[in-house]
């Protein structure tokens, strides 16, 4: 039976990754350790000294870890949807090369989404194992939090891809990271509950995809009750995945098959 | 140089096929980008086993035409059938039977030659074992066996072009489309490529080649169309085009700086057809010796006088009033 076209794209990405994985794997293991150490242990001891009851009744490290997990997934997704896409279209033009084969633009985009999802999954799973290794949470709960991580990671791939394919040069990407990705990382409830934000900022935080993933992951690991019903968050993130993917299609067709 | 062949398939003979079996047939084929007409209602047919060329200057519409044939660019108007398929609705099926060498090098520079070819073969869903065998064959064919495990970024321009040719042949295509295969290469690298393409032609592979080098067209093409500003301005074999559109010989005259502008009328009187270019004057004639004799008896004092046969370059100049490579 013929291999579905998107899976052929997936395989090509995996083959490329196999040749270039070393740097990224190191980061995948190291960055959770550094974050957990610096934020959780260092900052955590200060927070815990001031809040004897803890945040959500758990030590700060436990409060923080699930948020950092999904935030890492979010950043991985943003990376896969930005530099990678810009490269495929503009720099190396490997996406254009692919289109001379039976692969068409739809398969190209779906294959890209599938491979990026696999990348998010890898990074999140490693993070979850590190959480368990540092005894932040039991392994099963940590692994369960990979679910929301995957959702927000792939949602970010879709949104970022839809954005990147509309750019003519990479300056817009630097802006995107500075004014979207980093603020989202800081103010979506990863480091402190969004109820501590100024009132006018809270609704902004609530519409970020990361906020929903943080709520879901924290519910899984810490046992908190999310402020938004879990299924609303799941639906919202799924809708973002769909919307981003669909919105990426037309510019890709216009650019690669004019 | 050994005579490696590519694959074991045999291709039907050209002459045994009637005209209706055209591999490509285009009627009033048009490509617009917004209001701009890049390809302006062209008609042509390509037959099994022939090497068919599109010759034209920058912006003539060659690449736009190739991309419509290759089912990676929608047709704006007109009809196009390639290998009996409709590029607009049967793209994946058609592309699986084509080989393409794009104008720009788009190999994955980070990967090795082998990985690039393996990856490409997998897009066609060929088995890894079959691709591995094919890669060995193709690297022998393009004479890059020793570069199998080299990264693309470490190859010269000519080598990259040969890897792209190997890549385009990975699926044993029924038709091989090459968009300016040798542009930017030094003469030696071009000859290596021409030799490889000539071998493919000998094996019966149908070649579609665009170029703005007339020598390339003369070397490789059985038949060609000359394109200019989206239109086909002439069609035929290289020899018949030359015979049809220009006298047999050309005498090229070069003058000291500033003199060329002043001798225009005198040069124009030498023959029915003359051209004054930026750097030289061309006198078309059926008898170069006689024309040179006339010039040497005249008051003209050219720095150099060169007699040569007419080429496609002259045909193009005749048809459009411009040179091919500017
Ligand atoms: N995607 C596009 N959008 C707008 N205009 C385009 C596009 N692609 C090509 N054109 C225009 O169409 C015309 C024909 O371009 P094309 O690339 O087909 O020419 P060409 O004969 O291949 O030229 P060259 O020898 O430079 O490769 C040019 O004027 C070009 O600017
Ligand atoms: Mg071109």
Q: For chain A, where are the E strands, in sequence order? A: none
Partner-chain contact A101 B106, CB within 8 Å: no
Partner-chain contact B98 A93, CB within 8 Å: no
**ipTM value > 0.85:** yes
Per-residue pLDDT for A26 more than 90? Answer: no
Q: Which of A250, A246, A257, A247 is nearest to A98 (CA)?
A: A257
Q: When comparing pLDDT for A16 and B131, which is higher? A: B131
| Cα B24 to ligand 2 centroid, rounded to whole Å | 19
| Cα B59 to ligand 1 centroid, rounded to whole Å | 5
Task: Return the residue of A nearest to B71 by Cα.
Answer: A100
Mutate which of B103, B120, B125 to disrupt the A interface (most A C-beta within 10 Å)? B125
**Would you state the pLDDT for residue A201?**
94
Q: What are phi and psi of B85, to 5 degrees?
A: -115, 160
Rg, C-alpha atoms of chain A: 19
Per-residue pLDDT for A51 more than 90? Answer: no
- Of the segments A43-52, A88-97, B152-161, which one has the largest average pLDDT value? B152-161
**Would you state the pLDDT for residue B236?**
95
**Would you state the pLDDT for residue A92?**
81
When the pLDDT of each residue in chain A is averaged and rounded to a whole number, the result is 93
Percent of chain A with pLDDT strictly greater than 90: 77
CA distance A166 to A193: 34
Of all ligands present, the nearest one to the C-alpha of B35 is 1
Q: Does the beta carbon of B107 lie under 8 angstroms from any beta carbon of chain A?
A: yes
**Would you state the pLDDT for residue B5?**
57
Pick the range with the lowest mean pLDDT from A66-70, A167-171, A221-225, B316-320.
B316-320
CA of B303 vs chain A CAs: smallest distance (Å) = 48
The pLDDT tens digits along chain B (326 residues) read 444 556 555 544 444 444 457 999 999 999 999 999 999 999 999 999 999 999 998 999 999 999 999 999 999 999 999 999 999 999 999 999 999 999 999 999 989 999 999 999 999 999 999 999 999 999 999 999 999 999 999 999 999 999 999 999 999 999 999 999 998 888 888 898 899 899 999 998 999 999 988 889 988 999 999 999 999 999 999 999 999 999 999 999 999 888 888 888 888 888 888 988 888 899 999 999 999 999 999 888 899 999 999 988 899 888 888 777 65
Cα distance between the two ends of chain A: 32
Measured at the alpha carbon of residue B160, what is the angle toward residues B154 and B164, in degrees to the nearest 5?
A: 140
Per-residue pLDDT for A110 more than 70? Answer: yes
Chain A residues close to B112, C-beta within 8 Å: 19
**Would you state the pLDDT for residue B8?**
54
**Would you state the pLDDT for residue B2?**
44
Per-residue pLDDT for A108 more than 80? Answer: yes
The secondary structure of B186-244, three-state, reads CHHHHHHHHHHHHHHHHCCCEEEEEECCHHHHHHHCCEEEEEECCEEEEEECHHHHHHH
Partner-chain contact A102 B98, CB within 8 Å: no
pTM, rounded to two decimals: 0.90
Does ligand 1 lie within 6 Å of residue B103's CB atom? yes
Per-residue pLDDT for A81 more than 60? Answer: yes
Partner-chain contact A257 B102, CB within 8 Å: no
Q: Which of A116, A141, A125, A113 is nearest to A28 (CA)?
A: A125
Which domains are assigned to chain B? 3-242 (3.40.50.300), 247-309 (3.30.70)
pLDDT digits (tens, 9 = 90+) for A222-251: 999 999 999 999 999 999 999 999 999 999
SS3 category, A48: helix
């Amino acid at each position: 039976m013929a291999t579905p076209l998107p899976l052929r794209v997936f395989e090509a990405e995996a083959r490329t990754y196999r040749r270039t994985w070393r740097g990224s794997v190191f980061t995948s293991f190291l960055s959770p350790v550094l974050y957990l150490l610096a934020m959780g242990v260092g900052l955590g001891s200060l927070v815990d000294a001031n809040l004897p009851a803890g945040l959500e009744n758990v030590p700060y490290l436990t409060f923080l870890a699930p948020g950092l997990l999904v935030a890492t997934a979010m950043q991985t997704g943003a990376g896969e949807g930005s530099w990678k896409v810009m490269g495929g279209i503009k720099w190396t033009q490997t996406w254009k090369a692919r289109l001379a084969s039976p692969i068409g633009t739809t398969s190209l985009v779906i294959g890209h989404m599938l491979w990026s999802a696999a990348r998010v999954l890898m990074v999140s799973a490693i993070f979850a194992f590190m959480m368990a290794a540092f005894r932040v949470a039991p392994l099963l709960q940590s692994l369960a939090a990979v679910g929301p991580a995957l959702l927000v990671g792939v949602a970010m791939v879709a949104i970022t891809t839809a954005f990147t394919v509309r750019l003519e040069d990479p300056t817009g990407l630097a802006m995107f990271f500075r004014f979207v990705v980093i603020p989202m990382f800081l103010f979506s409830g990863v480091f402190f509950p969004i109820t501590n934000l100024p009132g006018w900022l809270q609704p902004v935080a609530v519409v970020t995809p990361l906020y929903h993933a943080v709520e879901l992951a924290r519910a899984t690991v810490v046992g908190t009750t999310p402020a938004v019903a879990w299924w609303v968050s799941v639906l919202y993130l799924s809708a973002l995945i769909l919307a981003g993917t669909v919105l990426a299609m037309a510019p890709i067709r216009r650019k690669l098959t004019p | 140089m050994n005579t490696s062949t590519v694959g074991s398939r045999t291709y039907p003979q050209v002459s045994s096929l009637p005209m209706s079996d055209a591999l490509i047939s285009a009627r009033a084929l048009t490509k617009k980008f917004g209001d701009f007409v890049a390809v302006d209602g062209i008609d042509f047919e390509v037959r099994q086993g022939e090497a068919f060329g599109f010759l034209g200057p920058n912006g003539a519409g060659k690449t736009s035409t190739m991309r419509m044939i290759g089912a990676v660019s929608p047709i704006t108007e007109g009809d196009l059938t390639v290998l009996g398929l409709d590029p607009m609705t049967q793209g994946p099926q058609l592309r699986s039977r084509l080989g393409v060498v794009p104008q720009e090098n788009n190999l994955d520079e980070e990967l090795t030659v082998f990985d690039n070819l393996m990856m490409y073969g997998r897009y066609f869903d060929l088995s890894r074992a079959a691709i591995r065998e094919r890669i060995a064959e193709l690297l022998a064919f393009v004479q890059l066996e020793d570069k199998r495990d080299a990264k693309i970024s470490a190859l010269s321009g000519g080598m990259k072009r040969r890897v792209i040719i190997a890549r385009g042949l990975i699926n044993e295509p029924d038709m091989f489309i090459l968009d300016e295969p040798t542009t930017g290469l030094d003469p030696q690298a071009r000859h290596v490529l021409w030799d490889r393409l000539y071998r493919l032609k000998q094996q019966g592979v149908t070649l579609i080649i665009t170029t703005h080098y007339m020598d390339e067209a003369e070397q490789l093409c059985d038949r060609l169309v000359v394109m200019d500003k989206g239109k086909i301005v002439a069609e035929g074999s290289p020899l018949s085009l030359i015979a049809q559109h220009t006298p047999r010989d050309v005498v090229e005259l070069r003058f000291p700086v500033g003199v060329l502008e002043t001798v225009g009328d005198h040069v124009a009187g030498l023959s029915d057809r003359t051209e004054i270019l930026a750097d030289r004057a061309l006198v078309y004639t059926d008898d170069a010796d006689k024309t040179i004799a006339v010039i040497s008896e005249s008051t003209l004092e050219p720095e150099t006088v060169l007699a040569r046969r007419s080429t496609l370059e002259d045909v193009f100049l005749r048809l459009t009033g411009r040179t091919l490579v500017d």
